[in-house]
Amino acid sequence: MNKTLIKGGRIVTAVDDYVGDILLENGRVEAIGRSLKVPDAEVHDASGQLIIPGGVDVHVHMETPMGNGVETCDTFETGTKSAAFGGTTTILDFAQQFKGESPKAALDRRLASAEPQCCIDYGFHSILTDVSKSALSELPDLVNNDGVSSVKLYMAYPDVLMVDDADIYRTMRKLGDHGGMVNLHAENGVIIQALIEEALAQGNTSPKYHQLTRPQLMEGEATHRVIRIAELAEVPVYIVHLSAKEALDAVVEARDRGVSAFAETCPHYLFLDNSEYDRPGFDSARFVMTPPLRDRECQGALWRGLKFDDLQIVSTDHCPFCFNEKAHGILKSKQLGKDDFSKIPNGAPGVEFRLPLLFDGGVRAGRINLNRFVQLVSTAPAKMFGMFPRKGTIAVGSDADIVLFDPEEKHTLGANTHHSNVDYSMFEGREVTGKVKKVFSRGRLIVNGDQWLGRAGMGQYLKRGASGRIL
């Protein structure tokens, strides 16, 4: 049977909100209506539940090598299963070019790992670490033939990932002509490196120095700088994991002048703050991600940015490393930096909790409305990165990626219940209201309560259209 009828739920998209039935057939939404009758369909009663489009998380790092054998602890299989349990049906991960490598070879390497493992649909941004003439010459093909219309560049991590301003400009020019967009990790990497060296020279090695050496001002400076470079190149620009109000100020100022500057933030910046670094001993290493958690004033600014569309997307930057060495070995663990904060692998988990957190702390708390919630977690990411209307909405002809969400069910977030390989959660013990109950991926039921019905390799690679062309 490939017909599924979801009956009597409250259908919410970025613009709609009504009660109805949805017929899923051959992986697509076939019909939407009232009192639909389809005798040979499998029926799911959705009364009392929200029916929303599957979440689209455009910033995750599954089985990602960080150099010297260090790697994130979720495989494509475990990471996408965890995403699905959290109501996310599409991810964009990264194909990182090693120095000297062809970007296309990097993509092929990642595709070979992802294809047999992904349980939900997936695509890739490219990452360039070596902006050579030959790498640049491959970009048009990457956009037009491989569907990779976004390239991430780092303004941080000198000698490892960082590229200079001229290379950012060159990449923007090349991509811009072909419907591509550059995504930036915007922090002033060389100043931060100097601060790290200063801290270590003074014997300051504990995790809280991760935060103290990555000041908000230096995120603001890099964000302002790169938006100006994009203006010169006359292309749209997208800031990843924006955390500081100084960076948001730069985005707001540019947008007010009509510049196509876009940005995402992440749940940890909305719900946690830098007091986590006051935890005793090494415990606060759990919160070592980049940029670090910021002060309470930034949280307020970020919520305002989400409300007024100065921030367009909430993604997770799921970049999991276990806290303990035991679970998956030292190379996938925070313990690498026990004696030196600068060696703690940067990144934190969260792919499973984006929807419940934003629903509970956003919609229920009265900060955003339901349509805006769907816009932030599904529609805007799909539009921003060339997947709409196949993804990001519930409409006739769209992929049948559908989530049934109980807006009243309470549950507690934590490592005991999530499906990721990681051994901790930054939100351990937090009670939220609103739970993912059923998830359909292209019409197939993959999550049914606590039951997993998906399988590795079910996910399809998404060749994306143009990025950054939303106005």
| Among 184, 319, 447, 462, contact with ligand URP (rule: CB under 6 A) | 319
Least gap, CB of 290 to ligand URP (angstroms): 4
| Among 57, 138, 317, 360, contact with ligand URP (rule: CB under 6 A) | 317
361 binds, among ligand URP, Zn ion, none (CB under 5 to 8 A by kind): none
Using CA atoms, how far apart are residues 387 and 295, in angstroms rounded to an integer?
34
| Among 53, 176, 347, 392, contact with ligand URP (rule: CB under 6 A) | 347
- Per-residue contact string for residues 164-203; x = within reach of Zn ion by CB under 5 A: ---------------------x------------------
Least gap, CB of 36 to ligand URP (angstroms): 44
55 binds, among ligand URP, Zn ion, none (CB under 5 to 8 A by kind): none
Burial class (CB in 10 A: 0-12, 13-18, 19+), 178: middle
Least gap, CB of 241 to ligand URP (angstroms): 6
Q: Which of residues 87-126 bind ligand URP (CB under 6 A)?
A: none
Nearest alpha carbon to residue 269 among 254, 236, 247: 247
Q: What is the dihedral of CA 303, 307, 309, 311, to 10 degrees?
A: 20
- Per-residue contact string for residues 234-253; x = within reach of ligand URP by CB under 6 A: -------x------------
DSSP 401-425: -EEEEEEEEEEE-STTT--SS-S--
Q: How many positions of this chain bind ligand URP (CB under 6 A)?
A: 9
Residue 289 as a binder of ligand URP (CB under 6 A): the answer is yes
Using CA atoms, how far apart are residues 54 and 392, in angstroms rounded to an integer?
7
Looking at beta carbons only, is 346 or 398 nearer to ligand URP?
346
Least gap, CB of 317 to ligand URP (angstroms): 5
Two tokens, residue 457? 């390799």
Helix (H/G/I), strand (E/B), else coil: 152: strand
Chain-centre distance of CA 63, in angstroms? 15
Using CA atoms, how far apart are residues 59 and 82, in angstroms rounded to an integer?
14
* Per-residue CA distances from 257 to 122, 184, 251, 254, 261 (Å): 34, 20, 10, 5, 10
Residue 439 as a binder of ligand URP (CB under 6 A): the answer is no
Residue 61 as a binder of Zn ion (CB under 5 A): the answer is no
Two tokens, residue 76? 């494509």
Looking at beta carbons only, is 208 or 241 nearer to ligand URP?
241
Least gap, CB of 66 to ligand URP (angstroms): 8
| Residues in a beta bridge with 183 | 152, 238
289 binds, among ligand URP, Zn ion, none (CB under 5 to 8 A by kind): ligand URP
Least gap, CB of 283 to ligand URP (angstroms): 18
